[in-house]
Amino acid sequence: MRLMLSLLFGIFKKKRSLEDSITKIQSGDVQLREELIVSFKPFIAKTVSSVCKRYINDSDDEFSIGLIAFNEAIDKYSTEKGSSLLAFAETLIRRRVIDYLRSQSRKQVILMDLQNDDDEDQTQSFLESEKSLQEYHKEIDAQKRREEILLYQEELKEFDVKFSDLVELSPKHSDARKSAILIANTLAQDPDLMKILYEKKRLPIKTLEEKVSVSRKTIERNRKYIIAIAIIISGPYTYLKDYIKGVLDE
């Protein structure tokens, strides 16, 4: 709330105050980030509307794209770029929204609007975004993958497993890996077994043995690997789940 009140009373009209807040946010102030984003929703909506050539509210998909772009601008902004945060955010929002519109099979409509627009800078921005589209997606994917791995590393620590050890823990033969992953999948699909796993921080080997067609010795030998894979299957790990799918497809 402190940021919203500051905006209402015009404190952020001073460039330095906004820059100081961005510095705090980039240093990890999550609450300040959320307040800043909420406070600048009208700015985001206005910027998105100017690209779409129609009124945009916070229930539109285009507004969500603008919101994500504004958050990205907060992370990437630096005074060394030679422009204000709002100028930088506006450019980023325009590019991301144009990118989104193109992906929604409305390229020709947007192109006509842009070509008829007197703002040459906007047209140039569109052409530049087309050129950098693939690189942008690669960058976003890489960032999300890094964040996902960091989250996974923290969760593994609860079970005394290191992410760096997974290669060593992985069964060497493909058949053995598939077997371990199938066991992990059985575990992940059973809410009662997962509850035991998370509460006691140990694998419920005896109960699990009754549900799979492998020996207790095999389960015990691959205990940490099974736990690690079950966490991926049951958790919000989109990129790591692709890895598991690849193993199953071998």
> Which residues, in sequence order, are CB contacts of 15 under 8 Å at separation 6+?
84
Angle at 171 between CA 176 and CA 148, to 5 degrees: 115
> Has residue 102 got a pLDDT over 90?
no
pLDDT at 18: 75
What value does the mean pLDDT take over residues 81-103?
Answer: 82
pLDDT at 220: 93
Same domain, 130 and 178: no
pLDDT at 242: 77
User: Helix (H, G, I), strand (E, B), or coil: what is residue 234?
Assistant: helix
pLDDT at 5: 35
Which of the listed residues 134, 168, 188 is the one where a domain comes to its end? 134
pLDDT at 13: 41
Same domain, 119 and 150: no
Nearest to 99 by CA among 51, 151, 153: 51
3-class secondary structure per residue, 36-93: HHHHCHHHHHHHHHHHHCCCCCCCCHHHHHHHHHHHHHHHHCCHHHCCCHHHHHHHHH
pLDDT at 226: 93
Question: Residue 9 — pLDDT band, cuts 50, 70, 90?
Answer: very low
Angle at 74 between CA 14 and CA 117, to 5 degrees: 85
> Has residue 166 got a pLDDT over 90?
no
pLDDT in tens, 122-145: 555 555 555 555 565 667 777 777
Question: Residue 67 — pLDDT band, cuts 50, 70, 90?
Answer: very high
* Pair 158, 124: CB distance under 8 Å: no
**Domain residue limits at 101:** 2-134
Same domain, 104 and 157: no
Cα–Cα distances (Å) from 107 to 130, 135, 145, 165, in that order, read 11, 19, 29, 47
> Has residue 76 got a pLDDT over 70?
yes
Q: Which residue has the tokens 């593994």?
A: 156
Same domain, 56 and 164: no
Q: Which residue has the tokens 């736990």?
A: 227
Same domain, 236 and 163: yes
Rounded to 10°, the helix 133-157/238-248 angle is 90
Nearest to 66 by CA among 33, 34, 100: 100
For residue 9, how far is the Cα from the chain centroid? 34
pLDDT at 15: 43
Distance CA 92, CA 169 (A): 43
Taking the CB of residue 39, how many other CB atoms lie within 10 A of it? Answer: 16
CA pseudo-torsion sign 193, 197, 200, 204: positive
Same domain, 85 and 129: yes
pLDDT at 142: 75
Same domain, 111 and 228: no
User: Helix (H, G, I), strand (E, B), or coil: what is residue 127?
Assistant: helix
What value does the mean pLDDT take over residues 137-156?
Answer: 80
Give the chain's domain count. Answer: 2
Nearest to 92 by CA among 33, 140, 32, 53: 140
Same domain, 77 and 178: no
Same domain, 29 and 113: yes
Which of the listed residues 134, 167, 183 is the one where a domain comes to its end? 134
pLDDT in tens, 214-235: 899 999 999 999 999 999 988 8
pLDDT in tens, 185-210: 999 999 999 999 999 999 999 999 99
Q: What is the mean pLDDT of the chain?
A: 78
> Which residues, in sequence order, are CB contacts of 154 under 8 Å at separation 6+?
none
